[in-house]
Amino acid sequence: MSINVRTVQQILTSGGVVKFNNNNLNPVFCSAVPKMPSPLGVFDQYRMARATFDNNAITMTGVEESDLQANAINIVYEDNYATTGSVGASRLVYSDSFSGCVFYLYRGPMGYIHAVHASRASGNLADPSSYFAKRGGTEIHKWDSQGALSDEMLLKGWFGAVIAVVNHDQIDVFSVALKGDSKLRANRVMSVLDHTVIASGATEA
């Protein structure tokens, strides 16, 4: 079933809440791709999750990769590397901790979408472009968080995040500013920084 992008947009634009509970599950790693030194370091690192949308909140709860009810993926950041995760249609992509990193979406030769959180540690971007070019991937979206949040925002404790709704017919990518709310144990949406619509979606998972 497709994810209702209007519901997601309403939650984000109304200052709703985004919560990811890892459920004490470790990220999934791809053992087939060696963890090479930056800038060659591109490898899978993600958590699968079940996402719900109610009470003005997007709530994601970590599940095993084999869970057939999983409808979301969290691309887990790692310093000096570009971390990735792949999805088909009817999935939500989430990644946070952006304060200079770059978020990419690539379309693979089989129609799946590959999301990337590329670190920019000490000003050096872990650029994944050659990695995906060699594997037949095509870049369809790029959001550079460098300068996207003002110094004032950063001093307030805001940080960047991306929420992408991947459906069969289109992909909506929301770049947002979040701030942690200790009482809710979640992140409050402070601002929608960008909304990009890609007029072609993904292969069904």
Residue 187 structure tokens: 């992140």
Mean pLDDT of 64-74: 95
- What digits encode the pLDDT tens for the residues 81-90? 899 999 999 9
- The pLDDT, as a whole number, for residue 136 is 95
Residue 141 structure tokens: 């979206």
- The pLDDT, as a whole number, for residue 205 is 66
Q: What are phi and psi of 66, to 5 degrees?
A: -80, -5
- The pLDDT, as a whole number, for residue 31 is 44
Q: What are phi and psi of 140, to 5 degrees?
A: -120, -10
Beta strand pairing call for 138-144 and 102-107: antiparallel
Looking at 75-136, list the stretches that DSSP marks H as alpha helix, in order from N- to C-terminal side. Answer: 129-133
pTM confidence score = 0.93
List the domain boundaries for the chain: 5-198
- CA distances in angstroms from 91 to 52, 86, 145, 155, 183, listed in the order given: 12, 10, 23, 33, 28
- What digits encode the pLDDT tens for the residues 141-188? 999 999 999 999 999 999 999 999 999 999 999 999 999 999 889 999
At a CB cut-off of 8 Å and minimum separation 6, what does 16 contact?
Answer: 10, 56, 57, 58, 188, 189
